[in-house]
Amino acid sequence: MSDRPKSPLQPSTAVIHGNRVWEKQSNSIIFPIHQTATYVHETVGVTKGFGYSRGGNPTVQALEQAIASLEGTEDALCFRSGMAAITTLCMALLKAGDHVLLSEVIYGGTVRLFRQVLGNFGIAYDFVDTSDVNAVAKAFREDTRLVFIETPANPTLKLSDVAGLAALVHEHGALLAVDHTFLTPLLQDCLKLGADISMLSTTKYIDGHNATIGGSLATHDMEQLERLRLVRKTMGTIATPFDAWLTLQGLKTLPARMEIHCRNAAEIAAWLEGHARVSGVNYPGLDSFAQKALAEKQQSGFGGMLSFELEADTQETLKFIDSLKLSTCAESLGSVETLITNPATASHCDLTAEERAHLGVTDGLIRLSVGLESPKDLIADFEQAFTAVFG
């Protein structure tokens, strides 16, 4: 198993120059889009590294090398979506009869994958409060092969102790995979904390401009990575060249963007916490956040995501969202625009009312992905929406 240290370059330099590949034919400073399905073979079975774009593509590889530089790994793999990455991960590492433990607060698409797809293939699973290491220990079974966590969790921002869980999982001979899309490796180095696999929805902060759909997986275990590569090729879940090219451009500004996201989110969270119509704010940077100490321990920043509880019913909550002019109602996150949604009626609508209540995904919970706009303008927009709905 390789444990290659991260690039000696600072993040803002590494995302531009780390593992950078130059285009040789024209000396273009931007790596080109290799929009091709196939490649010329020197002779039957002999290629210059690429044979068919379902298996690999130069533009996709350039993005993979850039993400690997960010993750501190020898290589990484990119996929058509975050869900394609998770699906490939499960199909590559699990078989019928295996058992998986998942964070109980997790992206709704991951819940659907296990409940409506993987369960049909004999893969058992249980949802557990992964913020409690003891609860995870009690949930382990002899056939548990994978623990898949999301931290911070979507949409409550609940945290899981990556290092603590890694020690437990490895003690049982299983693997720990972490979806840390909300933070990226810039703010949370889950592989250094002991996780086996890092998963990202590159659609979000990595791209940062709402231009693409994509996902990535990174690990220090090259044998594991090759297994993932084989299954990706077989399933056809590789990223497309154009999406990879756009994501590669977005990645170059990630450190600068994340700094502003964090600063703006902290200001918005503090303001919301003091509003009479808000009963609670979930943001790891607030002193009121129950797990702030853990955030300070395993994160280098608090991120640009927050959620808050509006003292309102579903109809009033949706009316409040519709009244906003600068915060755009959308299910995605991590872009330059501030995005807002009501998880109970959007990303987590497949859960029963009882399940949502147990997880804290109430009708009045609003998730906010704070963008790069001026916090002053965003706050003014919130003020007018509060007035429009509640007087």
Query: Catalytic residue at 227?
Result: no
- Rounded Cα distance between 69 and 66, Å, is 5
Of the residues 107, 125, 205, 283, only one is catalytic, namely: 107
Task: Look at the block and give the residue holding tokens 């790994």.
Answer: 73
Of the residues 6, 39, 52, 54, only one is catalytic, namely: 54
Question: Tokens in use for 192?
Answer: 């250094």
- Rounded Cα distance between 16 and 248, Å, is 9
Phi, psi of 136 (to 5 degrees): -65, -40
Of the residues 179, 189, 196, 207, only one is catalytic, namely: 179
Query: Catalytic residue at 319?
Result: no
Strand order across the 365-369 sheet = 278-282, 305-310, 365-369, 339-341, 328-329
Identify whether the C-beta of residue 81 lies closer than 8 Å to the C-beta of residue 88.
no
Query: Catalytic residue at 4?
Result: no
Cis peptide, bond prior to residue 152, ω within 30 of zero: yes
Total H helices, total E strands in the chain: 14, 12
DSSP state for residue 38 in the 8-state scheme: B
- Rounded Cα distance between 376 and 107, Å, is 30
Of the residues 158, 204, 229, 356, only one is catalytic, namely: 204
Query: Catalytic residue at 204?
Result: yes
- Rounded Cα distance between 283 and 267, Å, is 11
- Rounded Cα distance between 32 and 249, Å, is 11
If 0-12 CB within 10 Å is exposed, 13-18 middle and 19+ buried, where does residue 271 land?
A: middle
DSSP state for residue 275 in the 8-state scheme: -
Catalytic residue numbers read 54, 107, 179, 204
